[in-house]
Amino acid sequence: MLASATNGPGTRKPLRELAAARGIRIGTALDPALVDSDSSYGALVTTQFDSVTPEKAMKWKHLICDRQSRAEVDAIMVANPAQAEDEVVD
């Protein structure tokens, strides 16, 4: 599992804070199925990253015009929680 970088003796800061201090964002691709099945995965993403991209949901082969498509549902499952945590969704 990804660990925060050490910033001084015994102090750990999330990667998103270290990146922000340098004026950059740090992100990851997010799999909604893993968020549903593993709470530590979602917590790690929320703590460490300030930008998320749907792992597969926004790829052309997964997009269907039907508004109830799984791709749309997956994209929403990534976007809504990310925006609530003030993360950028690419």
pLDDT digit string, tens, across residues 44-90? 998 999 998 888 777 766 666 555 556 666 676 677 777 777 777 76
Two tokens at 77? 């499952």
Tell me what pLDDT residue 1 has.
Answer: 44
3-state DSSP assignment of residue 87:
coil
3-state DSSP assignment of residue 66:
coil
Q: Are 52 and 27 in contact (CB under 8 A)?
A: yes
The strand pairing partners of 51, in sequence order, are 27, 88
Two tokens at 67? 């508004």
